[in-house]
Amino acid sequence: MASTYVDDDTGTDLFREEFKRYKRKEPSPDLSEVIDFTTDPTTNNDYEIIPLGCLQTMKTNPPLYGLRPVNEWKVYRCLSKPGFVFICNPFSAAAQRYWCYRCLHDYPSKDNVTNLDFIEKQCGINREDNIWSASETYERDKKQDKVDSAPFDLRFHIKKLRWVTLGYHYNWNDKTYDKNNVSIFPFDLKYLAKYVTSAIGYNEYNPEASIVNYYHIGSTLAGHTDHSEYDHQSPIVSFSFGQDAIFLLGGETKAVKPLAFHLRTGDICVMAGQSRLCYHAIPRVFTSKHFEISCNSSIDDEIRHLNSLSNTNENIQSTLENSTDYCKTNQLMLTTLNSLQWDTYEQFLSDSRINISVRQVLKHGQCFPD
């Protein structure tokens, strides 16, 4: 994960130059070199469309609710970044709401590890288990001028959440994973990551760890490589939700000038092959109309459709590998969407971005080194 950004005075740090350029507030940077796969990408020779219909190996992996059929996905690879794959938002509006809900309402629970746990330890105060609900209640009471008998500690407000780790918890200090520091990897995210990787030809992917990052407008993530996993062959799968960002992808040293990509809600980046160990960063998070359009349209028709699917689909996948995760995920998605009060999530995401990066930590068959 994020290794510390090391300053380099030699003048050859082209990564840093680009990072600074895209981070700049005034004047705002020229975005004309940013690769935007939503605008006529066929004119650039550096990347090509992969039509995925022919790559499908998903007899054992039926599609989750809210994912477009794989043969309709727009998938790109960059000739100059072997192994890097970009999938333009394959999620429906309802599915995006579901994944945002999971990242904000469920994943930050005490079963996992968050940056707020360290504050808890420092000040010796026990926070509420559900950061989202506690913050929501606080905000509602504040609006109604209610005086709370147990005042809410703003250090544990959802806006202070920066990261959550899932599965094997990444240790940010010594940049390692520990076999004893692990929680159950969420079944839905596991299924999603396996589904996406199998769609692009990785059939043995085993999601074991994830970092969920929470950004606000103006937040950045400095240049780093993700090299702490023991398995560097399996890809890192990275999902974006909420507001837009610039993603830089360089080479194995910072002397290589990075490419800049425009990331929008629902987009997926896969770093495999040579690109797996390349420097990357988020120099800029910014608002656009895109999230509003993509995710905030009415989902009533979609929910009606998913509910009717669930009635006909009930036993259909019972013989398939991973069928439990598949069924549980679709079921949870339905129950969640049928009762989700989206407006507070919408408000949070109007100036925030969520990134989920999924990693396989161990090689196939490998035991955790002592």
Name the site residues for Mn ion (rule: CB under 5 A). Answer: 226
- Are 51 and 70 contacting, i.e. CB atoms less than 8 angstroms apart? no
CB of 212 to ligand OGA, least distance (A): 8
Instruction: Report the DSSP pairing between strands 236-242 and 244-249.
Output: unpaired
CB of 165 to ligand OGA, least distance (A): 10
Q: Which is nearer to Mn ion, 226 or 325 (CB)?
A: 226
> Should residue 241 be labelled a site residue for ligand OGA when binding is judged by CB under 6 A?
no
Residue matched to tokens 């507070």: 344
CB of 261 to Mn ion, least distance (A): 14
Out of 95, 192, 211, 237, which residue is the one contacting ligand OGA (CB under 6 A)?
211
* Distance in angstroms (rounded) separating the CA atoms of residues 336 and 302: 13
Reading the block at residue 132, the tokens are 């989202």
Q: Which is nearer to ligand OGA, 263 or 337 (CB)?
A: 263
> Should residue 265 be labelled a site residue for ligand OGA when binding is judged by CB under 6 A?
no
For the chain, report the end-to-end CA distance as a whole number of angstroms: 20
> Should residue 225 be labelled a site residue for ligand OGA when binding is judged by CB under 6 A?
no
CB of 69 to Mn ion, least distance (A): 29
> Should residue 238 be labelled a site residue for ligand OGA when binding is judged by CB under 6 A?
yes
> Should residue 357 be labelled a site residue for ligand OGA when binding is judged by CB under 6 A?
yes
Q: Which is nearer to ligand OGA, 1 or 306 (CB)?
A: 1
Out of 135, 198, 213, 228, which residue is the one contacting ligand OGA (CB under 6 A)?
213
CB of 224 to Mn ion, least distance (A): 6
> Should residue 85 be labelled a site residue for ligand OGA when binding is judged by CB under 6 A?
no
Give the strand order in the sheet containing 221-224: 221-224, 280-286, 244-249, 259-263
Reading the block at residue 223, the tokens are 């240049």
Residue type, 277: L
H or E element that contains 47? strand 47-50
Residue nearest to Mn ion (CB): 226
> Should residue 254 be labelled a site residue for ligand OGA when binding is judged by CB under 6 A?
no
Residue nearest to ligand OGA (CB): 355
Q: Which is nearer to Mn ion, 62 or 273 (CB)?
A: 273
Q: Which is nearer to Mn ion, 23 or 68 (CB)?
A: 23
> Should residue 165 be labelled a site residue for ligand OGA when binding is judged by CB under 6 A?
no
Q: Residue 211 forms beta bridges with which residues?
A: 165, 357
Out of 190, 262, 280, 284, which residue is the one contacting ligand OGA (CB under 6 A)?
280
SS3 at position 70: helix
**Chain centroid, CA 211 distance in Å:** 8
> Should residue 285 be labelled a site residue for ligand OGA when binding is judged by CB under 6 A?
no
* Distance in angstroms (rounded) separating the CA atoms of residues 18 and 37: 20
* 48 Cβ neighbours under 8 A, 6+ residues apart: 76, 77, 79
Q: Which is nearer to ligand OGA, 238 or 329 (CB)?
A: 238
96 binds, among Mn ion, ligand OGA, none (CB under 5 to 8 A by kind): none
CB of 47 to Mn ion, least distance (A): 21
**10 φ/ψ angles, rounded to the nearest 5 degrees:** -75, -10
- Are 235 and 205 contacting, i.e. CB atoms less than 8 angstroms apart? yes
* DSSP string across 148-184: PSS---GGGSGGG--EEEEEBPPBTTTTB--TTSB-P
* Distance in angstroms (rounded) separating the CA atoms of residues 122 and 256: 40
197 binds, among Mn ion, ligand OGA, none (CB under 5 to 8 A by kind): none
Q: Which residues contact ligand OGA (rule: CB under 6 A)?
A: 1-2, 211, 213, 221, 226, 238, 240, 247, 280, 282, 355, 357
